[in-house]
Amino acid sequence: MALDITQEELRELAILVAPLIKSNATDVGTTPFVDSLDGISSLPAVHRVNGITKIVRAAISKLKGDKGDDGRALEFIIIDSFDTYEELVTAYPEGPERNGFFKVGESLYIWVNGKYEYLNFDVFRSFAKEQFVEIAPAGNDIIITHTKTPYAKVTLSGNPEVFDITINNTKDGSVGKILLSQTGNKRIYFTSFDVIGNVDLPTDAGSIILITYNRVGDKIYIHSDVVLGGSNPTFGKLRNVDQSVDTAPVGSFPVKGEEFWSYVTPVTGEISDIKKMIVPVFNPETKKWLFVPAGYFSSGGDIPADPDFFTISTSYWGGDDGTWGTIQPLGNTKVSKGSSLTVKINANEGYEVSRVNVDATDQGAIAEYTFQNIQDNHTMYAWFRKEIIRYTISVGINPSNIRQCTVTAVGSGVTVTPNEDNSSYLITVEQGGKATVTIVPEEGYQVQQLNVDKAPQGSVSEYTFLDVQADHTMYVWMEEAEIQSGDTDFLTRSDKPGVFYSGIGMCLASLKEDYPGKLTRDVVISCVKKATEIRSSQYNSEFGIWTAKLENWNKDSRYTLTIDGKNLYTIDCRWLGGFDINGVDNIIIKNLTMRNYCNFSGQDAPEELSAVMVRGSDDAKIKNIVVYNCTFDGYYENDLGYRAFSCNCLRFKKTSNFIVDSCDFQKAGAVVIYTNGAESVEITRNNLQGDYYIEGGGVSHAYVLQLDSYNGVLKLHDNIIDGATMIEYACSFSGFDTIDMCRNTIKNTAGQVFTLPKPVTNFVIESNVFYNNITKGQYVYTRRIMGAADIKNLDIRNNTVYFNGEFSTNQEFISAGIVDKLTNCNNIYINHLANAHAVFVLTGLKEYISYNNLYASAFWDNKPEERFVKFKILDIPQIEGGAEDGYLDFSFETRKLSEYQSRGYETNSVAVSATDKVLNADNGGDYKLLASLKDTYPANMDYMSEFDREYLKSVARGNIGAYNLDGVVWDESTDTSSGYEGTNIVDLVTFNNSAAYRVPTDDLLLLRINSKKRGILFKSTFTPETGDAIMRFGQFVSVALYCVSADGMYVSDNPYTLTIEDNSYESDL
């Protein structure tokens, strides 16, 4: 497919690369101190005012020459197009005669510095429309003030080989970009904060790089994309450099002063073995640049042979307006060699010192610092913050359990103070912060019960307080430790009562011996007493790096193996793997805890691991896997307090269908649930939270959910999806035909919540709550809650979307390609912080149904129909000739609700101001509509959800938003719904259980069982007149039926009978 580039993009690209290939620019009217103008955006030039001569910066755009600097007058065109790079080189071996671009397949090339260079056009597109401000280097210093120029453009030119980049005025959550272009082999260093990430700066002359930075806490995370260039050395940090200059140059030189370039005269004679920061100096007589120690120059006059003075540079960040505090003395203070200087850090009322760095070393939250016996230049940077309110967590130990445990805590400004006999602990935590309190048992003991604010939490040893807004209490009871495996037999099989096993691996091996090939009956393995099984050493266990393995067994069986921990069984995977299920169908794992898996803390492994690994193949996908009511904790902490994070939790590779229900994944791993090639996935009633940990186990990108399918169906119901640490994406859904997303809570995601890179046919988003998303993402372009490709039918109803993420000022709810039909009804969209610019950003839309929505945003006056400023409901570009293809015209003023309503959209929708209180959350509560407004904002009942968000009430009448405040209480266990609804994915024909359906062989069928019960495992069995039966688990069934007899011969017709069996997950399945 050929590269598609617009004229506007071509012009913008020309502006970007023009300085790199310009050849004919000349002077500024007075002589500049350079020979060539290629690749530089500003030059030193002579400036004479009232007889005083200064060296100043002059923009190239002011030079007299060939068409200036901005590239707009340069005639950039697509010169030619080729299928391969070799064809380009053959056709133009010496380059083109004029400036321009070449298309090569889907790529773009230019001729620069005597060779062809590849342009990363996708990266260019991501920043082409940003407003980059030119920042000129001062010598080899590049100083960027984030609050003034979050998007900076810098050209690295001249003789300096090393440039220092300092980024000032950032705060936690700050994000910016730096566009670097260079004319030679340059290097860059970062001198502010701790920098983490990679900066790929090509060594080739004429290269361009885009750097994205994001400050998280005290660190700045760096990510780079090469737009144009070759090899990629990494970045470093520059402090003091050894530099020897044999003989000082003769004559006057322009050297960087505090506010301008000025003439100075260097000392003659020998200068050697000097350790100073190096500055570039230009000699106008030789027209050469060289590096000279900075201490040997001043803003005028002669330079002393041995400098007797040094500079103490102090600066601070005190809020966007700089009023939170100050430093005394502030700025550059000249001090004599060997003297002392005391600097005071003063916070204003209502604020406090957060941290002070001296020469890039953290000194803590100090109020003053004294530089003593000064022998060098020094720097100080201070951070202020709003004064923090702190709350207490009081932890009491049962008197009979004193000295059987200790208490630790980590979190937001957390401190832990035990009393004298360790019978109680006092923990402090910052208001709004997080505190994780851990009960550490002494050897031979374990937690029996933990109460939090007098509420029992069970035998948990750790509890996390989120968004602390009050004091809390905890109380702990201890007991003797549980029996470890190897000491007792604790597993039994339903088909062999009275026979016991001391390990799950041994039990599965015996089962496979008794049933070679496949099961002939359902079997349940149960835990009969409280026990923890620890994976044996990989060197003396037949299961190696896994706790248990089951391979090539029970394929296409009608019978099921259930492993039931009975809430008594814990599997400690001892740093490596849990279950390895390879080529096995019909497995249910329930009511157990898995911990300490896939963190590689004590051992390594040659293959990828997880708590549960299910593996099939393209020719033989795994079918019918269920994980129910299990707890997953992949962390490991050694005796020294080092904590290792898990990489993977549940991995379903080449698995046709699986169900994950009612599980707790609070500390599950960098990828909590992964699948590829799935046909049916049901993830319901889970608490889902992962860790942004990508270093171990080959995990390159962290996700809570990473799900891949081929025309399958995804059921995502009643979950809590917490993306607190996900700075890229929380969830990736790729290749699904149908997605049903209902009654979920989606919160705290740092970056983009959902990405759907492939088209979707049907996407239902119903009764979900979205809040506190887009807070501290890694990339500025991940500003949307959901990004998707084309969607045929997008059905959004009864959701509450609260735009209270602070990461970006350009947020959107959904950004997608072409949507054929969008239903947007009964939703609440709250934009109090004015950080959202649109609800929907689409490439095109063919049908729009919208009723009874509420939009809260900033308004430009008090007219209800004009209460949007930058906020739009729909942001859709006008498509040329779009009406002929069925596209709707949204060329009207889309910031005014009245304009929609005059065209028949948004019937009964309302717009309110950003200050209007709509939800309990506006008063510090939950995200329900204020009870006083339920009659003010009724729902359109034709588009109302059948049940309330908490699944407790059948809707008789209702209000907008995710929570319905009215309705009739019902018990889902009394539901008698039966039958199914089906769709042939190939020809989109629908059918149901009321009549027989004739289907072509191998067509893919999607069935949805009509039952409204949750907590039920549905088993659908398709029994043919000839051949083997097909069994599938789940409410959604994706299956292809075939026409073969038992001996494999083709038959023309093969009737199937569908039997649907429902069993409670709590029964002996």
Q: What is the model's pLDDT at position 183?
A: 63
Would you say residue 437 has pLDDT above 80?
yes
Q: What sign results for the dihedral spanned by CA atoms 482, 508, 1066, 594? A: positive
Q: What is the model's pLDDT at position 10?
A: 60
Of residues 93 and 645, more confidently modeled: 93
Q: What is the model's pLDDT at position 274?
A: 27
Per-residue pLDDT tens for 75-116?
A: 456 778 888 888 888 888 888 776 677 888 877 787 766 777
Q: Residue with structure tokens 């209460």?
A: 867
Most confident residue range from 488-497, 678-687, 867-876: 678-687
3-state SS string over 319-332?
A: CCCCCCEEEECCEE
What are the φ/ψ torsions at residue 460 (nearest 5 degrees)? -95, 145
Omega within 30 of 0 (cis) for the link into 329: yes
Would you say residue 197 has pLDDT above 60?
no
Provide CATH code, domain 311-386: 2.10.70
Distance in angstroms (rounded) separating the CA atoms of residues 452 and 468 = 13
Distance in angstroms (rounded) separating the CA atoms of residues 622 and 58 = 68
Per-residue pLDDT tens for 575-606?
A: 888 999 999 999 999 999 998 888 876 566 65
Longest Cα–Cα distance of the chain, Å, equals 107
Listed range (94-103, 335-344, 500-509) with the worst mean pLDDT: 94-103
pLDDT band at 206 (very low <50, low <70, confident <90, very high): low
Most confident residue range from 338-347, 643-652, 992-1001: 338-347
Scored b (16 or more CB within 10 A) or e, 1015-1046 reads ebbbbbebebeebeebbbbbbbbbbebebeee
pLDDT band at 458 (very low <50, low <70, confident <90, very high): confident
Would you say residue 506 has pLDDT above 60?
yes
**Which residue, among 1033, 1036, 1030, 1027, has the nearest Cα to 1054 in the 3D structure?**
1027
Instruction: Copy the structure tokens of residue 638.
Output: 């050694």
Q: What is the model's pLDDT at position 35?
A: 34
Distance in angstroms (rounded) separating the CA atoms of residues 637 and 1059 = 49
Strands in 520-647 per DSSP E: 523-527, 531-534, 548-553, 561-572, 579-584, 587-595, 612-615, 625-628, 631-633, 636-637, 643-644
Per-residue pLDDT tens for 246-285?
A: 333 333 333 333 222 222 333 332 333 222 333 344 444 4
Contact 726, 694 (CB under 8 A): no
Q: How far apart are the first and last CA of the chain?
A: 52
Instruction: Copy the structure tokens of residue 785.
Output: 């809650």
Would you say residue 697 has pLDDT above 50?
no
pLDDT band at 422 (very low <50, low <70, confident <90, very high): confident
Q: What is the model's pLDDT at position 33?
A: 33
Mean pLDDT over each residue of the chain, to the nearest integer? 78
Q: Which secondary-structure segment (H or E) carries 10?
A: helix 7-21
Would you say residue 430 has pLDDT above 80?
yes
Inter-CA distances, 111 with 87, 97, 106, 229, Å: 15, 10, 17, 12
Question: What single-letter DSSP state applies at residue 265?
Answer: B
pLDDT band at 391 (very low <50, low <70, confident <90, very high): very high
Q: Residues with Cβ < 8 Å from 20, sequence gap 6 or more?
A: 38, 39, 112, 113, 181, 183, 206, 208, 228
For residue 90, the SS3 value is: helix
Q: Which secondary-structure segment (H or E) carries 89?
A: helix 85-91
Instruction: Copy the structure tokens of residue 1027.
Output: 């051949």
Q: State the average pLDDT over residues 610-623.
A: 93
pLDDT band at 43 (very low <50, low <70, confident <90, very high): very low
pLDDT band at 303 (very low <50, low <70, confident <90, very high): very low
Per-residue pLDDT tens for 731-767?
A: 999 999 999 999 999 998 888 899 999 999 999 999 9
Per-residue pLDDT tens for 786-797?
A: 999 999 999 999
Q: What is the model's pLDDT at position 869?
A: 56
Contact 58, 25 (CB under 8 A): no
Most confident residue range from 166-175, 755-764, 893-902, 970-979: 755-764
Inter-CA distances, 299 with 261, 295, 350, 700, Å: 8, 11, 41, 50
Supply the DSSP string of 917-947, one letter for each residue.
Answer: --BGGGGTS-SSBPGGGTTTSB--GGG--SB
Q: What is the model's pLDDT at position 42?
A: 37
Q: What is the model's pLDDT at position 1044?
A: 62
Pairing of strands 115-119, 141-145: unpaired
For residue 61, the SS3 value is: helix
Q: Which amino acid is at 538?
A: Q
Q: What is the model's pLDDT at position 298?
A: 32
Q: Which amino acid is at 439?
A: I
Task: Identify any residues that bridge with 445 across adjacent strands, giving them in sequence order.
Answer: 480
Instruction: Copy the structure tokens of residue 1036.
Output: 């959604």
Q: Which amino acid is at 924?
A: G
Per-residue pLDDT tens for 227-236?
A: 666 544 333 3
**Which residue, among 704, 708, 674, has the nearest Cα to 692 in the 3D structure?**
704
Would you say residue 395 has pLDDT above 80?
yes
The domain ranges of the chain are 241-307, 311-386, 402-481, 742-933, 976-1010+1015-1064
Count the neighbouring beta carbons within 10 Å of the beta carbon of residue 632.
Answer: 25
Contact 708, 678 (CB under 8 A): yes
Q: What is the model's pLDDT at position 259?
A: 26
Inter-CA distances, 433 with 427, 436, 519, Å: 13, 10, 52
Pairing of strands 208-216, 219-228: antiparallel
CA 1022 from chain center: how many Å? Answer: 42
Count the neighbouring beta carbons within 10 Å of the beta carbon of residue 1047.
Answer: 7
pLDDT band at 58 (very low <50, low <70, confident <90, very high): very low
Per-residue pLDDT tens for 887-938?
A: 999 888 888 888 899 999 999 999 888 888 999 998 888 999 999 999 999 9
Q: What sign results for the dihedral spanned by CA atoms 607, 610, 616, 618? A: negative
Per-residue pLDDT tens for 996-1034?
A: 877 776 777 888 899 999 889 999 888 887 778 889 999
What are the φ/ψ torsions at residue 514 (nearest 5 degrees)? -75, -25
Q: What is the model's pLDDT at position 986?
A: 80
Distance in angstroms (rounded) separating the CA atoms of residues 354 and 342 = 19
Listed range (115-129, 461-475, 600-614, 829-843) with the worst mean pLDDT: 115-129
CA torsion angle 122 126 132 134 (round to 10): -20
Distance in angstroms (rounded) separating the CA atoms of residues 451 and 565 = 24
Q: State the average pLDDT over residues 971-983.
A: 88
Q: What is the model's pLDDT at position 1046?
A: 55
Q: What sign results for the dihedral spanned by CA atoms 505, 687, 652, 493? A: positive
Q: What is the model's pLDDT at position 309?
A: 74
